[in-house]
Structure 1
């Protein structure tokens, strides 16, 4: 299996899964992204993307979703394992792929440390 695959099993798609991640209330953000996270019992990260209408018309929203999924696909092997992530792009910022990759890595590490500390404490 290619390390850069992004199969359907790695995507958060159900409304219940989104609700579970939001209800955990663990989030971190920067100028590009806001990420909500919760631990899962899997050996991989799963990704959900939520882009509001504040980000523009359907074409612009779809572009942001594709860029975030591509950034995740490229850095997923550098992220901590066992997290469900919901990524929300900031509407006022037009970030590029490298900026999304950097934000994903930094914020996911921050959330992982916070969740790990919460579980051990």
Structure 2
């Protein structure tokens, strides 16, 4: 597979492993996990609470809040709201914190690959 004039050379497997072992990559993974894991656990607990209330405490879910609107209906709709809120928060966090760090790491890896790649002469057709 040849690289075009605008395609940077691909890093070697050894360069990928070195990048994976770098402090920058470990910090990037730690930062991503410090956001993703607590959010996942929080949402899972919230979802489990909803299921437990529905399964074992239907009288709580049947509490009328007004007209035909019950607590169960509101809590069910809030599941969707929290899903979108978590998605929005993660995208914002990723754009602001993770993406710049990942881009810097990728650029460094591409520079190292370019430095290690053998030069191929341009052929005029």
Give the shorter-chain TM-score range.
Answer: under 0.3
Which structure has the higher relative contact order (CA within 8 Å, separation 6+)?
Answer: 2
Structure richer in helix, relative to its length: 2
Question: Highest Rg: 1 or 2?
Answer: 2
TM-score by length of 2: 0.27
Q: Give TM-score scaled by structure 1 length.
A: 0.27
